Chains A and B, each alone.
Chain A
């Protein structure tokens, strides 16, 4: 098997993530006009975070139930715009009580 180095993983992450931030700033003069591209970029963040959250969240707990309840509670809390930190605390607290 190929030998991988943690430091190279980190360097790749640093390079790619910051390139993504820098490239549009360097290139874009004015708004993106292509409608499909604009729509695609608009939906990407939501879809990425959604597929990273589910089903991973309910697979992270020893049995699915605490994860499912934490997920539902988190969705409700976020729906009522409780904010980043409160939603995170609610999910943790519920999972801790049910595990």
Chain B
């Protein structure tokens, strides 16, 4: 049994490393945004280490930059990270019966898009230590990337900083586009989202909304509309 646990830790660290390298680059550009919001490297490290959410952190830093109300940050975190609810629910089905409450909750805290992905892909019940070690190594890269971005972002030429800020959007595209290829309804949802989001910028009154407000309102409205129009069919549907 001990031997097995050791193997699981090593396996977890092994899958966590490539995830971490990708995280570092993306977190670096996130750090540039965090620096604009006035975070120090230590604050960025702390926030990234415990939050571990690309879209969520991006949303929070843009809100911090405009000194938004705390309630707006709560709403942003809820909506930008709602997918983790789904993933956590799905992961709950992959944990061996009899696993302690504490271990289950700690596994839930490890959920990011990628760590969820590798945890779900583990054959049979996922051992908690496998998820922990994958999360630990990737999180260290994520948090350091953010801290380095905050520190070094200001030293880089402006053009390079703007170009690097594209990496976060690139990562978002890499998450949303492939499923749209497989599911036509996701494709429709994306087209509607792009159109309405673009319209909101130029529309009167709504154009004055903060980006956080826009994200929250559009997400709830469009998702509810598409869910009503095209409900999902399969019983075991999860988004990765």
Contacts and interface: CB of A to CB of B under 8 A. Distances in A.
B28 to A, nearest CB: 10
A84 B108 contact: no
B173 A99 contact: no
Given A28-B89, A43-B223, A21 B109 contact: yes
Contacts of B159: 96, 99
A40 B223 contact: yes
B89 A70 contact: no
B82 A48 contact: yes
Contacts of A49: 55, 172, 175-176
Given A42-B227, A47-B223, A20 B170 contact: no
Contacts of B92: 24-25, 28
B57 A13 contact: yes
Given A17-B77, A51-B215, A95-B162, A88 B51 contact: no
Interface string A16-31: 1110111111101001
B78 A20 contact: yes
Contacts of B105: 22, 25-26
Interface string B161-201: 01111111111111111111100011001100110111001
Nearest to B160: A96
Is chain A's binding surface mostly helix, strand, loop or mixed? helix
Interface residues of A, number: 74
Contacts, number: 291
A62 B162 CA distance: 9
A10 B38 CA distance: 12
Interface of A: 1-2, 4, 6-10, 12-14, 16-18, 20-26, 28, 31-32, 35-36, 38-57, 59-62, 67, 70-71, 74-75, 77-79, 81-85, 87-96, 99
Interface of B: 21-22, 25-26, 37-39, 43, 46-47, 50-53, 55-60, 63-64, 67-70, 73-74, 77-89, 91-93, 101, 104-105, 107-109, 111, 114, 159-160, 162-181, 185-186, 189-190, 193-194, 196-198, 201, 211, 214-215, 218-219, 222-224, 226-228, 230-232, 235-237, 239
26 contacts: A10-B46, A10-B51, A12-B70, A13-B60, A16-B73, A23-B88, A25-B88, A31-B236, A42-B232, A47-B193, A50-B176, A50-B197, A52-B211, A53-B172, A53-B173, A55-B198, A71-B169, A74-B166, A74-B173, A77-B173, A84-B171, A85-B21, A85-B22, A87-B174, A94-B166, A95-B163
